[in-house]
Structure 1
């Protein structure tokens, strides 16, 4: 695996080309225990259906899709910036599905993805970002280091892929 990583925005015309690779990322993360809305066992069909819906949302300009790739074109991670918000929240965006494959973790990829998400949100005219993550996980520390402010924790908010309950921590970030 190369150490040369590129983070880039996937355009509306090419989002469907990434469905298979993004399905691989999602499956790897869920099989590794990531609480990202999916349960075990996760089927390839479930992962492909999810990314097909995301590609359509990208095409409708409802969200920004970012990917981290090595110089061989392998997708190692992804994050989304959901820019389509209610009428009274045109300044806000949600950060969703920050995923990095297990074999590529601890290489700064998530840090680069979240910084790129901030940039994409700014470019879309957003000034307030929100996200949630499993309490006590590595992502919680990543977001704090990246300047996110903890709002609070909701106990028993979601299920981990194995069916056990987990708490969720909510964060916000005010973009300058």
Structure 2
């Protein structure tokens, strides 16, 4: 760790927690448009309008969301969200959401580093169970299983793709984050 709240992935990439996005709205919106238009299944369909991305990020932050970003030379190249469950019976769990790495920076450990930092934040928040879902067949499935996430189930026809086909999703969990 080089400074408070900044995790160094390598000499160039740093993971930071953001408590507000006003200063990063354009970069986060550009990242979201880029990964959606590249085919990421994170709740949106391509082509994505920049205004839609701005609307999403403008409403994404609340006290139950921890936003982590990966920066390279001061530029945001990835992000992930940790959604803390606020239900009375769910104070021990959180959901990993919208893991994104800019296509020009993939396969460099950024997604893995974001996930590990999200797990660390979950532990700090006393969350012992993490859940997530991802489209079946996406490379993210390999990342999640390599990090010890266990497949909980598969739901067919869960999400619609850009070509109108329905695709299955896989749900994963990881517990005992003590």
TM-score normalised over the length of structure 2:
0.90
Q: Counterpart of 2:96 in 1: which secondary structure?
A: strand
- Structure 2: distance between partners of 1:16 and 1:159: 31
**Unaligned 5+ residue runs, structure 1?**
none
**Count of residues in correspondence between the two structures:** 168
Alignment of 1:79-98 (within 5 A): 79-98=80-99
Report how far residue 126 of structure 1 moved.
Answer: 0.5
Residue in structure 1 matched with residue 6 of structure 2 by the alignment? none
**Runs of 5+ unmatched residues, structure 2:** 1-9
The match for 1:19 among 25, 30, 50 is: 25
Contact 1:38 1:161 in 2 (8 A): no
CA distance in 1, matches of 2:12, 2:80: 19
Contact 1:34 1:160 in 2 (8 A): no
Shift of 1:161: 3.4
- Please identify runs of 4+ aligned residues in structure 1 that moved more than 2 A: 160-164
Is the alpha carbon distance of 1:161 and 1:73 closer, same or farther for their aligned partners in structure 2, counting shifts above 3 Å? farther
Write the mapping of 1:111-126 to structure 2, written as runs, cut at 5 A.
111-126=112-127
Q: 1:67·1:78 contact (CA, 8 Å) conserved in 2?
A: yes
Correspondence for 1:34? 40
RMSD, aligned α-carbons: 1.4
Bigger RCO (CA 8 Å, 6+ sep): 1
Q: CA deviation at 1:54?
A: 1.2
